[in-house]
A and B are shown apart, each in its own frame.
Chain A
């Protein structure tokens, strides 16, 4: 799905060749500062590589309209963003920005359940805890049903149980709907248990690509 050819981003990232398969779960691991976030940002064109080219379904990414691309490849940033307003407003804002039709409260409540957020839709989103904000932001991007979901450490402020439940559902959902999921994570466990491919990064380079065989 993604193919990188001699990609460089300033002096931060240097990837000679990398392929990310379609309809799979891919985890990007590596120590802090190794370039995980930078890599994800390249995929939805929040930044453009300074050298080389990235292909998305065999089309050069530089030639694809950024807005259209980002409506298909949605990214959840590392620090969750909360917009002023209620939980409902925060869930719906993704659909609004991407000019997709709005949806009813029933579906919104389902999403809240999926990210284990036991709150009412009317509640002011600014009062949520760090972990709750993270789950709300996650719910927002799941709701948009993108073809490719880029998650930058989606569970960094969650406890182990909540993390496991949410990621499990998310992965299940992705596989069921034939979508792709690319996730940067610190958790070796998550990477090992849920991904089809693990990409390991170090100092802006890919040092290992492992395919996990179903078992």
Chain B
């Protein structure tokens, strides 16, 4: 660990010059974004410092309940974030489905990852459990957000097509198949694309962090591959659950469209 360069406060402060440059450019061009830039820089700093202290506390007090609590809080933030990010109006039923698919999909993938893939012991070791959980949850959140928008837009824009299919004797499942498939597809596409660029276009955050903190690149890569596959699985599972149950909220039990 002695290879790691511990940043001095003044060095860190120097990095804020980048924000200064951005502010300068924005002012020069008269783009009214200064307030947002300053607020988000401050938020980023405060949130990370806070998270740092929380993590120190969690790592020092390795305890299954605290670990699960931390992941649970991440889960809540993620679901909340999906509701906020999606521009379309969501029915209450759909919101419940979003929350349940997020929790079920990420929990299953995380448990599989912890118990089978890396066989962690103790299983709740916060050094692994929390960051890996965060990555699965964060990526699934992005996936579901895309899936939700696509599904709701598809259902409203193609209402006529769905109704026509129903009039021809289709079940609601048949009638919405095209929309459901395209929602699933657009939700997992970014994850698939990020596998392609992995290691060439960018070094993923987790690997960069590990390498910077002195882990051998080979170990870091092994973890990165495992985590990437875990992310693919988690995104696919959550989005699958979401679309499978989500499309049903647009129909009543008489197979009538209720939008």
Contact = CB atoms under 8 A, between A and B. Distances in A.
Interface string A34-78: 000000000011111000000000000000001100110011110
Given A48-B254, A48-B256, A97-B174, A70 B163 contact: no
A79 interface: yes
A45 B252 CA distance: 12
Contact of B168 (A47, A79, A140): A140
Contact of A83 (B161, B171, B254): B161
B11 to A, nearest CB: 58
Interface string A7-45: 000000000000000000000000000000000000011
Interface in B231-257: 254-256
Interface residues of B, number: 16
A75 B161 contact: no
A77 B164 contact: yes
B86 interface: no
B168 A44 contact: no
B169 interface: yes
Given A79-B160, A81-B160, A83-B161, A70 B256 contact: no
B238 to A, nearest CB: 29
A144 interface: yes
Interface residues of A, number: 24
Query: Main SS of the interface on chain B?
Result: helix
Interface in B79-132: none
B256 A77 contact: no
Contacts of A45: 254-256
B170 A98 contact: yes
B23 interface: no
A144 B164 CA distance: 14
Contact of B170 (A48, A77, A97): A97
B169 A97 contact: yes
A148 B84 CA distance: 47
Contacts of B170: 67, 97-98
Interface string B148-186: 000000000000110111111111001100000000000
Interface in A112-161: 140-141, 144
Given A81-B160, A83-B161, A75 B254 contact: no
Nearest to A83: B161
Contacts of B163: 46, 77
A204 interface: no
Nearest to B171: A67
Contact of B256 (A46, A76, A140, A144): A46
B256 A47 contact: yes
A141 B160 contact: no
A93 B256 contact: no
Contacts of B175: 97
A76 to B, nearest CB: 8
Contacts of A46: 163, 166-167, 256
Contacts of A81: 160-161, 164
A66 B161 contact: no
Contacts of A99: 169
A36 to B, nearest CB: 15
Given A46-B163, A81-B160, A98 B168 contact: yes
Contacts of A93: 165, 168
A70 B166 contact: yes
Given A81-B160, A81-B161, A74 B167 contact: yes
Nearest to A150: B167
Contacts of B164: 77, 81
Nearest to A98: B169
Given A48-B254, A48-B256, A70 B160 contact: no
A94 B165 CA distance: 8
Contacts of A98: 168-170
A67 B169 contact: yes
A82 to B, nearest CB: 9
Interface of B: 160-161, 163-171, 174-175, 254-256
14 contacts: A44-B167, A46-B163, A46-B167, A48-B254, A66-B255, A70-B166, A70-B167, A75-B167, A76-B167, A93-B165, A97-B165, A98-B168, A141-B168, A144-B168
